Structure 1
């Protein structure tokens, strides 16, 4: 592919890769409890990183960024926690609060307007929750663009956070044309397809680390959470299964003539879910950061249920149907823009109706979970 072709492929992904905007029933804003649970799992890791960062230098200006911030109730959650913690540390050490420079980053298709509408209420709520209010002023900025490139000026950031964003690749990997009948890495995918996905992740994540190393101050910190897998087996159900079931629904529609086979064969999800060892290896290879913590957690597909609430005995139990419905809405909020871009809007209701039925069946028979790989990093001096 020519360099122009590469840029066109990447631009297309950047234009269509975003969550469902707005505040409707199928919006990401109303279907992101799972992501909130994942964020809560790394609070201790974030707090440790912030304490170690701030108490060493007590900067007068604190640059904070959330990469892949999306739009909804989770968007400002981490920012709120960071500011409250820093303000508490200032009081404990009798230091003046810094000026907070907050950058919200996502691709250009993100619903930034919804974020900006939340800012006044966010600041009011933050001041209400802190005794005597937040000490330093808070300046908010939108930073649209791909994080697989430079976003901020050199050595201006102190703390960078990203959750459930880095599994998304800059583009669909080259050389996956023979991944017929699949929309992602799957148990039936040829080995070259899995290798192509892995190599694209290596390039993208290495570039991400290089760019952030240029933007962070010496000793700056990052906490990243990536949808991943425990196993080093790229065919593992831990990473592939949720998309394989969506592919079942799409393939059924191909057999019935609702979707053209050629359309199905040319659709692939630009995502890679790495193992902890793959994440660690790329950090060591790139060389700009030291690893402070590397952890793996898991959450049920249905964010509204704990394991002990899941009824495996009947595929028709209300809890299972409700659970599958919640998972369907969560996946729709994430995948609908990609599907609409490739297949058009007319198939959406049909495909997610079928997907719901498939999820009810599978969730009644087996334990279904997402795996999260979280890593805390310090930029080398």
Structure 2
């Protein structure tokens, strides 16, 4: 008896009436042998109650955003699935209000037409990886957010991007570092680069942003790392609209195999969407009692707010205490039990020299303790045991 292998493949359901476009999407999905594709050639109003939608791993809906009936049907679909099935929306009409509404009803992703069929495929793969429905291969999106200021979040984000770049053989366009902290972001400063992302140009007109304009706004480090960063705007309140952020990340993730995001500590209207679109989310803190408490609090808050996001905490500037009254590793493990990804050694002299020279840590000292600890915590599953089973123990002050 021959088994039906498609029964074990994640099912992607395409809903819409644009037959020519879906034909192109089907061709793009052809090489993806691990995926099964089903096209429902109906409007979302007609297809919203179809039983095959309940068996889908991802639903892609092509809608006319000018039709209120379509928007109501989409909202009904989101209510029906309860967030258990990622929904990706395609629309040729796009503005800030629509972007905010998509975020509110918790669609997994949205793309503005015209869009390349391969970008639809990439969006589906990101959604599958976010739900653990597809094994991770080379491509990944990592997000780093600090539990407090000055804990080394940017340093770890940059070094993680460099590790991914080296693992990919430094191939062109393999890795991009995205600095979303537009107020005080320092990724470009750390790498001695001129930030080229012009928010004044694209902010009011996100629809102008395309692959050609993205290329102009990318800064390139001598190592081959691409950096997307805007000039810092100290003493100015700068608000990034969700549509701009999502459009930027869509283009970057379609262009690069690996994306590392340095997030601001302040919770923005688009933070939920970025976290849900990431393969891994890391909260960075330091080896102090307040730092450990803040790290645990932020990770627990993310887990409660976004059920599909599983944040891990990296304890930076870790120093092993053998004697004395300071914090020990057992205190760190107890404080972050269930969330701890790993610890990164305190090597201030090395990190400071790398920042002052605008180079990665490997250029100062190959195989440093900071790099090896970070590789173990982020890429080798450090601290996985007990993940998702946090306890309440927090160390008392030393």
Q: Which one scores higher on RCO, CA 8 angstroms, separation ≥ 6? A: 1
Q: Give the TM-score range, shorter chain.
A: under 0.3
- What is the TM-score when the length of structure 1 is the normalising length? 0.27
- What is the TM-score when the length of structure 2 is the normalising length? 0.26
> Structure 1 or 2: larger helix share?
1
